[in-house]
């Protein structure tokens, strides 16, 4: 896979369910279709919730990285 270049960063560190998904659902509208948002989260629930949100809304989680207690998601807007 070629290098992922996010056009927007969303910091939801310190926020719990449902805020990471709620914030992501509005942030996704601030990028164009095909662009990627980098999401920084600390809520362990977001590990399953953000992929579930993406499946339901038809967007794609390209990659998930964990650095310490911070979870990094690369989410591509598909529509």
Partner 1 sequence: MSGENAGEEKSIVAIIVSKNSLDMAYPPLIIAQTAAAMGMEAHLFFTFWGLYLIKKGGAEKAKLPGFMKFFTGMMKKKMAKVGIKPLHEMIRDAKAMGVKFHACQMTMEVLGIKREDLIDEVDDVMGAASFLEIAEKAKVTLFI
By CB under 8 A, name the binding residues for partner 1.
Answer: 14-19, 21-22, 24-26, 28-29, 49, 52-53, 56-59, 77, 79
Would you give the DSSP letter of residue 29?
A: G
As measured in angstroms, the least distance from the Cβ of 56 to partner 1 is 4
Count, residues in the chain = 79
As measured in angstroms, the least distance from the Cβ of 23 to partner 1 is 9
CA gap 21, 34 in Å, rounded: 19
Strand partners, 74: 38, 63
CA gap 42, 32 in Å, rounded: 26
As measured in angstroms, the least distance from the Cβ of 68 to partner 1 is 18
Q: Is 17 a catalytic residue?
A: yes
Q: Among 4, 16, 17, 70, which one carries the catalytic annotation?
A: 17
Residue numbers annotated as active site = 17
């Amino acid at each position: 896979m070629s290098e992922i270049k996010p056009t927007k960063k969303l910091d939801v560190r310190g926020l719990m369910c449902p805020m990471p998904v709620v914030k992501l659902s509005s942030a996704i509208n601030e990028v164009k279709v095909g662009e990627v948002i980098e999401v920084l989260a600390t809520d362990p629930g977001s590990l399953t919730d953000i992929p579930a949100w993406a499946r339901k809304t038809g967007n794609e989680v390209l990659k998930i990285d964990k650095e310490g207690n911070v979870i990094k998601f690369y989410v591509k807007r598909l529509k």
